[in-house]
Amino acid sequence: MSPYTIRRLEEVPDAFGGQYPGAMRFFTERLGAEQIAFTHRHMPPKSGGKGGYGHRHKTQEEIYFLVSGKVQFKLGDEVVEVEGGTAVRVAPDVVRSIWNEGPDDAELVICSVRVDDPRADGEMVEDFWPD
């Protein structure tokens, strides 16, 4: 195995597959990362979890870095507005969701410890952020 891996954004498939606004690209496997989970998310205006779901984890702490734009985070019962250039750390058990009200696109990078089965570590919470 090479001591390094390089991947461009367009080389990593969109997990939404065109079924949802924006894009979510999971770099972890494509990079062959053994310790770090790394995700890129593009959010056009009026996209995210508002009006629906949230999620939490059993073990994964997450750091969200908002590269550009402005988004709202719902963290438990609190809603916080965050602008580009800001990092947000979220403990595993905190239910969270992100919403881009607009008018501009938002771009985020999400990092956490890598787990063998991310779906087993996460839990979806329906009706977390009603309209």
Tell me the residue type at 113: V
- Model confidence at 11: pLDDT above 80: yes
pLDDT averaged over the chain?
95
Higher pLDDT, 64 or 116: 64
pLDDT confidence of residue 131: 82
pTM, entire model? 0.94
Query: Chain centroid to CA 113: how far?
Result: 13
What percentage of the chain reaches a pLDDT higher than 70? Answer: 99
Percent of all residues in the chain with a pLDDT value above 90, rounded to a whole number? 90
Indicate the residue type of 13. Answer: P
**Range 94-109 burial, b when 16+ CB lie within 10 A, else e:** bbbbbbbeeeeebbbe
How far apart, in Å, do the first and last CA atoms of the chain sit? 48
**Statement: residue 82 has pLDDT above 90:** yes
Which domain does 33 fall in, by range? 25-126
Confirm whether 9 is domain-assigned.
no
* Cβ neighbour number for residue 85 with a 10 Å cutoff: 9
Please provide residue 20's backbone torsions phi and psi, each rounded to the nearest 5 degrees: -145, 150
Token representation of residue 63:
């750091």
The pLDDT score that the predictor gives to residue 1 is 66
Task: Report the CATH number that the domain containing residue 71 is assigned in CATH.
Answer: 2.60.120.10
* 2-6, 43-47, 78-82: least confident range: 2-6
In a domain, 103, yes or no: yes
The total domain count for the chain is 1
Asked whether residue 94 is assigned to any structural domain, the reply reads yes
> Is 69 exposed, middle or buried, given 0-12, 13-18 or 19+ CB atoms closer than 10 A?
buried
